[in-house]
Amino acid sequence: MTERKKLIRTGDVVLSVALILVAIAVTLLTATRDPGARAVIRVNGSVVAILNLDQQETVGVEGDLGVTVVEVIDGGVHIISSPCPNHTCMKMGFVRMKGQMLVCVPNRVVVVVEGGEQEGVDGIVG
């Protein structure tokens, strides 16, 4: 009879701590605190609308299931109505920081908050 095996062994603790450190590192590396400038709305991966976060605006975009209504108000963006069954996208609430997003998987609508800089150009050297 060998000695009684422990419920949680040293290796379990080392592995769990290592993985949680990796996850925290990923969180810190991807987190942004810059307010966004624009909300880019994509349906099935292609851009259908770009909203300026400075203005108040409401648009409806046609997805696979129907129309998703996106509203920009007070520098943030949220989805106010959606034809999807779970309304997960509506429950995601407001997003206003660069890199944050709203996703409606069933209707294939993705709203991404982007910064003020122009996409695709890192800089122009004269």
Partner 1 sequence: MASSGNRTSTMASDLQGLRRVSRLAIYVAIGAAVAGLERLVPTPLPWIRLGLANGVALIALYSMGFQAALIVNITRALLVGLLFGTWATPALLLSLGGGIAAVIVMEIVRRMGQSRIGPVGVSVSGAFAHMLVQFILASLLLVRHGSLMVLAGPSLIAAVISGVLVGVVVVVAVDRIPPHLLSGKRSLSVSGE
Q: How far apart are CA 81 and CA 114, in angstroms?
A: 22
Burial (CB count <10 Å: 0-12, 13-18, 19+), residue 77: buried
| For partner 1, the closer CB: 72 or 98 | 98
Take residue 121 and report the two structure tokens written for it.
């150009």
| For partner 1, the closer CB: 118 or 124 | 118
From 52, 56, 58, 86, residue interacting with partner 1 (rule: CB under 8 A)? 86
| For partner 1, the closer CB: 72 or 109 | 109
Site residues (CB under 8 A) for partner 1, limited to 46-85: none
Contacts made by residues 116-124, CB under 8 angstroms, sequence distance 24+: 116/37, 116/38
Closest CA to 65 of 80, 85, 95: 85
CB of 126 to partner 1, least distance (A): 30
Enumerate binding residues for partner 1 (CB under 8 A).
1-2, 4-12, 15-16, 19-20, 22-32, 42, 45, 86, 88, 99-101, 103, 105, 108, 110, 112
